[in-house]
Amino acid sequence: MTIATTLEVRVATTDQRLQPLLETAQRWIYEQDLALANIEYIMEQAGYLIYVYRGRLSAERLPASLRTPCELIAWARPVSAQDDASLEQYANWFARWLVLCLPWDEDMQEAVLSEVASWARSDP
């Protein structure tokens, strides 16, 4: 099983807003030591969970310095994911993060999910 440490960020130059999100997602995958085989499943589940969190989570009250994708991913971590996280907990975490980073921007949320899932499919 290949570990996600071999991922490379492939960013489309057409939308530079994706770059910090994809870099943060790559770093998160690496730090959580997620297997490539599980990433596609996590992204699929996160796609469903986005609708659960939309409108319920907001970063508006956070200082601007804490609203970067890297800071928000730490803030979005579910309390239940503190120890040994399941794939469902990772999906919840990723969905919460996307909603905080891109509130109400469904197209960008989908673009991030699709791109990260494609990493798992395209890695040899």
Task: Sort 5 into a burial class: Cβ within 10 Å, 0-12 / 13-18 / 19+.
Answer: exposed
pLDDT band at 36 (very low <50, low <70, confident <90, very high): confident
pTM for the full predicted model: 0.80
Fill in the amino acid letter for 65: S
Interval 53-105: pLDDT, tens: 887 777 677 766 677 888 888 878 877 655 567 899 999 999 999 998 888 88
For the chain, give the mean pLDDT.
Answer: 80
Name the residue among 68, 47, 54 with its Cα closest to residue 113.
47
Task: Sort 24 into a burial class: Cβ within 10 Å, 0-12 / 13-18 / 19+.
Answer: buried
CA-CA distances (angstroms) from residue 120 to 16, 78, 84, 99?
22, 24, 22, 22
